Amino acid sequence: MTREVNHFIDGKSFTGTSGRFGDIHDPNTGEVQAKVQFATPTEVADAVEGAKKGQAIWAAMNPQRRARVLMKYKMLVEAEMDELAHLLSSEHGKVIADAKGDLIRGLEVIEFACGVPHLLKGEYTESAGPGIDVYSMRQPLGVVAGITPFNFPAMIPMWFMGMALSTGNAMIMKPSEKDPSVPVRLAELMLEAGLPEGVLQVVHGDKEAVDTLLQHDDIKAVSFVGSSNIAHYIAMECSKHGKRFQAMGGAKNHGIIMPDADMDQVVTDFLGAAYGSAGERCMALPVAVPVGKDTADEFVGRIKEEAAKLRIGVSTDDTVHYGPVVSAAHKASIENYIQMAVDEGADMLLDGRGFELPGHENGFFIGPTLFDNVTTSMKSYQEEIFGPVLQVVRANDLEEAAALPSNHQYGNGVAIFTRNGLAAREFASKVNVGMVGINVPIPVPVAYHSFGGWKRSAFTDTNQYGTDGIRFFTKIKTVTQRWPTGDIGDQAFVIPTMG
């Protein structure tokens, strides 16, 4: 009998009634290993109602008690790290080491959120006027929603949970239907850590469930990570219905390689950043921009040789560099982009299509693919491929190289590889991209900073996690107070003493 992944509502596994399901594949074999239920609008609304009740209890707790729940939660996730990593890997296809990295980066945000008593402190001004003091406080929004993508089924849910729950909100989580089991387990562990029932609900579904959340009057904010087209849709719908939103979209990150760069390190970094996790990362590095012919020729020759040595295999094999992509549909999309680049005239140096793993011929595998002499007019360059495909765009100088990420429709991340501090400083200051790495290929900020791109990579005014996350999930209330002077007669009171 095929396993079914249920919703998690009011602290219990909930079997839906829609009769609609999504297939959960094993990317290593191509077989359907489980089915996930799709919620009806009524079931989503019921989850919101339960979240409202739980949120009133949770918000009434002081911030330190909420932080203690998160501290215990961190310990529970760490204790179950191996099991969670294997479960994640079995549905996503990323290798176990990457799956553990997925979990660890999420836990870093949980660690940051444990400092919420300090982060929620307001401001105070004494004697702003004659006898007048002014102070502010941060309060939760109420019930919020998190809509998460397939490529980080642990990290991004924990981004949302850590910020939303620590600040006293309740959250409805709608994970990707491709790999939903880990988000459900993470919610179960939060309940075990002491979170009141209903404060964290998990509902599964497709556009019907998403639209119900976007249109529900009691959902006060939505945080989303996914493709740019859907991010734009989320932003427009939230605006229409008066909700706050963080809507993070796609990417096409560039790596600028200067002539003075450490080429050994550059090649190593690109192997991991372009091909790691089969390229299914919004902070992957799928475009290399070597500056000058000599730099380009050396980089292309070396990356071709090393990429051809990468080992692709089942996600549980700890000797491979990356596993399969998440689905047959996504594999077909990547292969279509590869053919598009060929048709557009790019020079194919490595072709990952047709890769078959013995014994796993129906798995969703794609070998490393490499293109040289890609141009900005090519559609395959302009759009996000989200697979193990590296495109090389040659540039004559730094000005030409920097213009590529600055003028691209996406502005998530960018990296520059150089020993020249002045060039790096100027580049970081002027490039039109939200996150910059200097000799760092995947510049995802640590948990106490914040994550966010520009242009079509992010439709939002606040970034994910960090202090921006605290701001997003809270509203400020400012109090201006003045106390009367003179005799208060019978209104006098005595401050109680201990004992």
Q: Just list the catalytic residues.
A: 282
86 phi/psi in degrees, rounded to 5: -70, -40
How far is the CA of 83 from the CAs of 66, 79, 182, in angstroms? 26, 9, 10
CA distance 275 to 386: 10
When computed from its CA atoms, the radius of gyration of the chain, rounded to whole angstroms, is: 25
Full 3-state SS string of 45-62: HHHHHHHHHHHHHHHHCC
Query: What is the length of the chain?
Result: 499
Token output for 211: 């639209």
Q: How far apart are CA 25 and CA 32, in angstroms?
A: 4
Q: 380, exposed or middle or buried, with CB in 10 Å at 0-12, 13-18, 19+?
A: buried
Task: Output the CA–CA distances (angstroms, integers) from residue 179 to 49, 87, 152, 419, in the order listed.
Answer: 26, 9, 9, 41
Alpha-carbon torsion 440, 441, 445, 446, what sign? negative
Please name which of 318, 383, 385, 317 lies closest in space to residue 352, comparing C-alpha atoms: 385
Is residue 288 a contact partner of residue 257, using CB atoms and an 8 Å limit? yes
Residue 361: DSSP 8-state: T
Question: Exposed, middle or buried: residue 21 (CB in 10 Å: 0-12, 13-18, 19+)?
Answer: middle
Picking from 176, 187, 178, the residue whose alpha carbon sits closest to that of residue 210 is 176
Tell me the torsion sign for CA atoms 234, 237, 240, 243: negative
480 to each of 124, 126, 133, 135, 456, how far by Cα in Å?
10, 10, 6, 7, 40
Angle at 264 between CA 262 and CA 270, to 5 degrees: 100
* Dist CA 59 CA 168 (whole Å): 4
Rounded distance between C-alpha atoms, residue 269 and residue 418, angstroms: 13
State CA 148 to chain mean position distance: 7
Please give the structure tokens belonging to residue 404: 């590529």
Amino acid at 345: G
3-state secondary structure of 316: coil
Question: Can you state the percent helix, strand and coil of the chain, rounding each to 5?
Answer: 40, 20, 35
